[in-house]
Amino acid sequence: MNSVPSRFVSFGGSLLPVLRSHRVPFATDTPIVVVMTPIVQQWAIQARLDVQQLLIPLSWATILGGTITLIGTSTNLVVLGQYETAFPDGEPIRLFDLSIYGVPNALMGLSYILLMSPFFLGRNGKQTAGNDDPILLGAKVTPWSPAAGRSVQRSGLRDTGGIYLVSVVRAQTGHVHRAVSGEFIVNVGDVLYFTGLVESFGDFCSEHGLEVLTNETVGLLEEAPRDAAIDSGQGNVDDNMDPLIVSVDLDVPEPTVQETDVPIGVSLESLMQASRGDRLRALTYMTDMIRGYSLPADEDAGAFHRATKMAEGQDPPQVVVEYTERDHLVCAGINCSDRQGLLLDISKALLRLNLQLKNTEARVVNDRSISIWRCEYAYLEDFTQQRDLRVSDLEEIWSVLIALLSPDSGVQAIKQRGLRVIRAQVTKNSRLVNRTATEVEFRSWYRAAIVAVQPSHHPHGQSNADLSSIKFQEGDVLILQASDDSPLLRPPHADAASPSAAMSPSARQSLATSIVSSIMGRSSSDGNSDIVSSEIDAETGTIGTLDEDRAAWNDLQVLSNLATVSEEGLATENPVAASPEFLTAMRVSPKAGFIGSTAKEVGFNTLHNLVLVSIERPSYGSLRESDFEGAMRSDKRFLQTIPPETKLQAGDVLWFSGQASYIGNLRKIPGLLSYEYDEVKKMNEKVHERRLVQAVVARTGPLVGKTVKDVRFRTRYGAAVISVQREGKRVHELPGNVKLQAGDVLLLEAGSSFLARNPHNDTAFALLSEVKDSAPPRLRLLIPALVLVVTAIAVYVAGITSLFVSMLVASILMILIGVISEQEARQALNWSVFVTIGAAFGISSGLVNSGVAPGVAAFIVRVGNATGLGDAGVIAGVYFTTVLVGNVLTNNAAAALVFPIAVEAASQSGTSPRLMSLALMLAASANFMSPYAYTTNLLVFGPGKYKYKDFLFFGTPMHVVLWISATAIMTVSPWYNSWVVACAIFLTVAFIRVFYAAIKSLYGSEEEVRPLSQKPPTLVANERVDHSGYGSC
């Protein structure tokens, strides 16, 4: 392979779509807004504020701040350069000379934003209020769920991106278990509560064999403890381990009566009481039917004849299971009514029972599907000895299969109820307002069932209410499980709602394919593409009447996926579903400033695009600082999950989940260290050479089957493993202990040369991809860097050197002390900007030489004088011209172009060219009218979900205000008058806004006032769980 580091180094492995990274190219030109935009987004969610009210102010405050000093924005420096060239002997413009005008100018701008933003901003974002609370969704563990009887850890319930297990309601006891550890065993009938991406919940439940709890299934929940009680009454149930609550057999009448009528395998008794031979013969009989052999006229075959009869009607499903000793196969025969996707569901269920399919025969006779499945036990995951097939195993297989086929609660029934989980808001004139789900025929109107309700105004003490008896209010957000034919899934008509709110057909298609692909992934061992394609057919919905659709859309507005704050503004696909999530451990440094606070107080549960999954603590309690390093090095310590409310200590391990690039951001939090920090420290790589790299373990490489420690990963590859991800699932295990498998995606911290240099790469990894902008932060260098900058500014202000020289010295020192690497410094230079501005200088010379500049200047002076304002008129004219040009041209070039005109106008009217240059600086940065006029506007445009007109309507008056105030500020004498006036105006406006809000908060009805201290509105769900943020799961 070639030795040049490249973004993708492929060794024949297909480029996994998994490795696509969703990030805006890092714009270093406006670092404040780039860094602050996601922070403000998260902050707004946390403080329950409208983000639209904050992002444009963020952008504009940056622009206004840029005109406070000479170095605030490059436009100032461009004008300064021209001024110094044109008037080498003129009065110099120093760093803070602009502040005289810039500060009052900025205060006027801020006053305008403060005063007017409630009227211009956020009106179209009203509906988003309150949507970002953790929503709890309930799901019941079905008998065929792969999670049943397994620990949370092994079931994979905690490893799936976007959905997080919060709590478990134990069916047997009715107890609520929060912060369940990985060893917690999930039983059939348990109700699990999740939070996270609502929209992928349907898929999630289908994959894990969970039944979404809705207002229609609440009854089932209440039955569960009863079943459990009966079950434990039988006396043979291990409290934790028996995954089955065999409730089906309770409905079967007296077995003795059934003896002659019920064929083998319809009830558990009929199966278990039949002799081995009977069961084998039943299987042989089914095989014969499939193969189309004529029935043997055997006298003993009475039971089998009954099986034929069953093939003619809507009889209960028949499942026969037996273990054949000859070839050590488990053989299951199934006879039930046929439907689409049946065989696929059965094969999935068998796989979950750890049965590996050897061969399968199936046939449809008279609408009955008859199939024979010959399987062997797959290796057991816990590496216990291969068990002999016991009676209880037969029972288990039978029970799972029969439950799967049951017409009332089986897979098909749940599929018919629909798997799409959507979010919809009750509209103003909805028929639902002030009524409950039972009063309005919810299912027949919307073909959807309610999973959860998020009330718009939280009435205290209603959180225990039953879902069916909640009175809906305008603005309530309903989480619905919609059937495929639900009118809510069809895009509304043009007049009903905005297209963004609808689920487009293509989105549905992709949903369907994603379901299919996940199925493909799980059942690759039998990989039957026919079955899969029939599944797709099943996904296409039916067509309803237009009136029905319209009525449904008038009642409920389906919300787009607001939970995933995608800073890219790309609504094309769900970013979380598309790129892999890693689970990574960070530990609390003994020097951390936040020791003694809870994770919530520090804000760890609200980090941008990261989820705090759990907190673990070394079991030997708190550590003295001297023990810390040693303890961290010891591998054998035991981590214990602690509740999220616990105060943090040094050495606590916090597990975060997120995409690679966001995981990288974790390192920017002072006091958090990567769990593998010691490994990383030992790497012989400079800090700014290090990157995060995603690497896929090659199928036949030396890594397969070994742990990171076994292969001495760091020594061998010069990289430390931060996190491991397997088949799209996060691995909740310290990376050092994970036994690697082919296809695992490793998140590595590696030197930049790792991609190129390492000879082992060829065989060890199938695919390498660097995570963008993942160089580790240099927290320790923050103070030296700040000292350098402040010193450079001080040297310049003291008049010792020019700004250019002092900054050049500072930048070279920064490279020397390692704040920034040579390469990063090179990349920081934006040569396109250089060429644009440099050329603009030459063009402005052309304007002077050709007489265009004097001509335009003469016109401006004429108009300015006509106003009778003297200097003010000319300044206003120059300001206006600059803003016009600045709205077409990038503002640096605009400044360079307008400069000769401004100077000419100054000389013609007798105004000071220095004052005119400063006016030009103020004007050239004023770009508020369009999202494209300034980088900062563009950066907040997508994340704030603004519309073009937001900038136009809010920005145009801003321009007028600043135009008038800047002109006044530049001409007022003495200068401090404008400061006094601007400060007074600003304080008045701020007081009015804050005072107004305080008044309103007394009445408590104003939506603008959303007290934070109060607990977020508790979700009304059908349970007694008091959610406490992100529990440990």
Partner 1 sequence: MTGQRRVDEGQEDPPPAQWETIYVSLVLAVMFVVLFLDKFGPDAVMMAVLTAMLAPGIISVPEALAGFSSSGLWTVMVLFIIAEALNKTGAFGWYMTKLLGRPKTIASAQLRLMLPICAVSAFLNSTSTARPLPP
**H or E element at residue 364:** strand 355-365
How many Cβ atoms sit within 10 Å of the Cβ of residue 413?
A: 12
Residue 707: burial class (beta carbons within 10 Å; 0-12, 13-18, 19+) = middle
Distance CA 503, CA 490 (A): 7
Kindly state whether residue 840 participates in binding partner 1, applying the rule CB under 8 A: yes
* Residue found by looking up tokens 């409290």 in the block: 239
Write down the least CB distance from residue 25 to partner 1, Å. 11
**Residue 362 C-beta: closest distance to partner 1, Å:** 55
Asked if residue 82 binds partner 1 (CB under 8 A), the reply is yes
Among 778, 801, 862, 869, binds partner 1 (CB under 8 A): 778
Among positions 671-690, residues that touch partner 1 (CB under 8 A) are 688
Using CB under 8 A as the binding rule, whether residue 669 contacts partner 1 is answered as yes
In the complex, least distance from residue 685 CB atom to partner 1, rounded to whole angstroms: 16
Handedness of CA 42, 47, 51, 54 (dihedral sign): negative
CA distances from 633 to 477, 672, 675, 676 (A): 49, 16, 10, 10
Name the one range near partner 1 by CB under 8 A: 350-358, 640-648, 749-757, 844-852. Answer: 844-852
- Rounded CA separation 352/338 (Å): 22
Q: Give the strands of the sheet with 639-642, arranged side by side.
A: 639-642, 611-618, 653-658, 582-588, 672-674
Shortest separation between residue 1001's beta carbon and partner 1, angstroms: 7
Smallest gap from residue 101 Cβ to partner 1 (A): 13
Q: How far is the CB of 77 from partner 1 (least distance, A)?
A: 4
For the window 905-934, what string marks contact with partner 1 as x by the rule CB under 8 A? ----------------------x--xxxxx
Region near partner 1 per CB under 8 A, out of 61-69, 333-341, 744-752, 959-967:
61-69
Q: Rounded CA gap, 845 and 896, in Å?
A: 10
- Quick one: which of 229, 295, 794, 839 contacts partner 1 (CB under 8 A)? 839
Which one of 310, 344, 401, 775 is in contact with partner 1 (CB under 8 A)?
A: 775
- Asked if residue 50 binds partner 1 (CB under 8 A), the reply is yes
Q: Which stretch binds partner 1 (CB under 8 A): 39-47, 138-146, 381-389, 949-957?
A: 39-47
Stretch that binds partner 1, among 225-233, 439-447, 457-465, 1007-1015 (CB under 8 A): 1007-1015
Quick one: which of 16, 18, 24, 114 contacts partner 1 (CB under 8 A)? 114
Selection from 965, 846, 857, 849 nearest residue 911 by Cα: 857
Using rule CB under 8 A, residue 84 touches partner 1: yes
**Using CB under 8 A, which of the segments 51-59, 523-531, 634-642, 976-984 binds partner 1?**
51-59
Distance between CA 730 and CA 724 in Å, rounded?
A: 7
Binding to partner 1 (CB under 8 A) within 982-1001 occurs at 990, 993-994, 996-998, 1001
Stretch of residues binding partner 1 (CB under 8 A), selected from 308-316, 713-721, 748-756, 800-808:
800-808
Shortest Å, Cβ 949 to partner 1: 13
Residue 640 makes contact with partner 1 by CB under 8 A: no
Among 8, 293, 620, 834, binds partner 1 (CB under 8 A): 834
Q: What is the C-alpha end-to-end distance of the chain, expressed in Å?
A: 43
Shortest CB 442 distance to partner 1, Å: 36
Nearest-angstrom CA–CA distance, 341 and 320: 20
Indicate whether 345 belongs to the interface with partner 1 (CB under 8 A): no
Shortest reach from residue 125's CB to partner 1, in Å: 12
Nearer to partner 1, 225 or 818 (CB): 818
Is 431 exposed, middle or buried (CB count within 10 Å of its CB: 0-12, 13-18, 19+)? middle
Kindly identify the residues of this chain, within the stretch 548-607, that bind partner 1 according to CB under 8 A.
603
Nearest to partner 1 of 432, 803 (CB atom)? 803
In DSSP notation, 550-585 reads HHHHHHEEE----SS--TT---SS-HHHHS--EEEE
Which residue, 47 or 980, has its beta carbon nearer to partner 1? Answer: 47
CB of 88 vs partner 1, minimal distance in Å = 11
Please report, as a single letter, which amino acid is at residue 342. L
- CA 902, 907, 913, 918: dihedral to nearest 10 degrees? -30
CB of 977 to partner 1, least distance (A): 21
Q: How crowded is residue 13: how many other Cβ atoms within 10 Å of its Cβ?
A: 13
Region near partner 1 per CB under 8 A, out of 207-215, 486-494, 648-656, 833-841: 833-841
Binding to partner 1, residues 680-739 (CB under 8 A): 688
Ranges of beta strands (E only) in 132-244 are 137-141, 163-169, 176-178, 191-196, 210-212
Spatial strand order of the sheet with 420-426 comes to 448-454, 477-482, 420-426, 556-558
811 binds partner 1 (CB under 8 A): yes
Neighbours of 340 (CB within 10 A): 15
Contact positions with partner 1 (CB under 8 A) in 451-510? none
Give the one residue of 1, 250, 779, 980 binding partner 1; rule: CB under 8 A: 779
By CB under 8 A, name the one of 338, 433, 1008, 1028 that touches partner 1. Answer: 1008
Number of residues this chain uses to bind partner 1 (CB under 8 A): 138
Cβ–Cβ < 8 Å for 966, 919: yes
- The nearest distance, CB 63 to partner 1, in angstroms, is 8
Q: For 614-741, where are the alpha helices, taking DSSP H only?
A: 625-633, 660-666, 677-682, 713-717
Strands 653-658 and 582-588: antiparallel
Other beta carbons within 10 Å of 330 = 22
Closest distance between partner 1 and the C-beta of residue 928, in Å?
A: 12
How far is 674 from 897, CA to CA, in rounded Å? 50
- Angle ∠(278,280,284) on CA atoms, nearest 5: 115
Closest to partner 1 by CB, 374 or 667: 667
What does the alpha-carbon distance between residue 804 and residue 661 come to, in Å, rounded to a whole number? 35
> Do you know the residue count of the chain?
1033
Decide whether 11 or 953 has the Cβ nearer to partner 1: 953
- From 21, 41, 105, 117, residue interacting with partner 1 (rule: CB under 8 A): 117
Q: Is 376 in the site for partner 1 (CB under 8 A)?
A: no
**522 versus 862: smaller Cβ distance to partner 1:** 862
DSSP 978-1005: HHHHHHHHHHHHHHHHHHHHHHHHHHT-
CB 443 within 8 A of CB 449: yes
Q: Return all residues near 703 (Cβ < 8 A) that are at least 6 apart.
A: 697, 711, 740, 764, 765
Interface with partner 1 (CB under 8 A), residue from 470, 896, 940, 1033: 896
Q: What phi and psi, each to the nearest 5 degrees, are found at residue 606?
A: -125, 30
Would you say 705 or 1011 has its CB closer to partner 1? 1011
Tokens representing 665 are 């951001």
Q: Which of residues 945-984 bind partner 1 (CB under 8 A)?
A: 948
Q: What are phi and psi of 647, to 5 degrees?
A: -70, 140
Interface with partner 1, residue 804, by CB under 8 A: yes
Lookup: tokens for 522: 């799980």
Residue 106 interacting with partner 1 (CB under 8 A): yes
By CB under 8 A, residue 852 contacts partner 1: yes
Question: Which C-beta is closer to partner 1: that of 117 or that of 172?
Answer: 117
Is residue 49 part of the contact set for partner 1 (CB under 8 A)? yes
The correct pick among 889, 964, 972, 983 for binding partner 1 (CB under 8 A) is 889
**Tokens 């250089």 sit on residue:** 834
29-37, 179-187, 375-383, 955-963 -> range binding partner 1 (CB under 8 A):
29-37
Q: Which is nearer to partner 1, 110 or 558 (CB)?
A: 110
Q: Is the peptide bond before 974 cis (omega within 30 degrees of 0)?
A: yes
